[in-house]
Amino acid sequence: MSRPKVEFTKYQDFLAEPIEGPVKGLNQRVISQDPESKNLCRILEFEPGTDTSPNGVQIHDYWEELYIVEGSVIDLTLSKEFTKGMVASRPPGMEHGPWKSIQGCTMFEVRYYKK
């Protein structure tokens, strides 16, 4: 099964779903997802004051590409703030986070698995 076709539309038209887990204030708007490959394209939203410390440092088995659309996040391990307009490209196994967003943050994320 492939991803659905999506023509230009506002990302706010996609349902905001809370992300399960111990951290409150994290939401996602899935734009497209392939259930077979688990590849995903989404909007990730941090509500103001969200702190992902309960999740600890994150390590994934997939590539992750990010663009900060609005707001900012602080990587608590690095003690560094990342702001609107910044991008990241993380290979599988790269450690990152935990995160805190004082004012809130909206990110565009693409994740994919290499075969």
Q: Is the pLDDT of residue 1 over 60?
A: no
Domains of the chain in start order, with CATH, are 15-112 (2.60.120.10)
In 16-39, which positions are buried (b, 16+ CB within 10 angstroms) versus exposed (e)? eeeeeeebebbbbbebebeeeeeb
27 φ/ψ sector (left φ>0, alpha ψ -120 to 50, else beta):
beta
35: confidence class by pLDDT, cuts 50, 70, 90: confident
Residue 24 CA from chain centroid, whole number: 14
Q: Which two tokens stand for residue 67?
A: 């663009």
Chain segment 85-110, per-residue pLDDT in tens: 999 999 999 999 999 999 999 999 99
Q: Which two tokens stand for residue 92?
A: 């599988």
Phi, then psi, of 53 in degrees rounded to 5: -50, -40
SS (H, E, C) 8-54: CCCHHHCCCEECCCCCCCEEEEEEEECCCCCCEEEEEEECCCEECHH
Chain segment 9-18, per-residue pLDDT in tens: 899 999 999 9
pLDDT value at position 7?
86
Distance (Å, rounded) from C-alpha 6 to C-alpha 31?
8
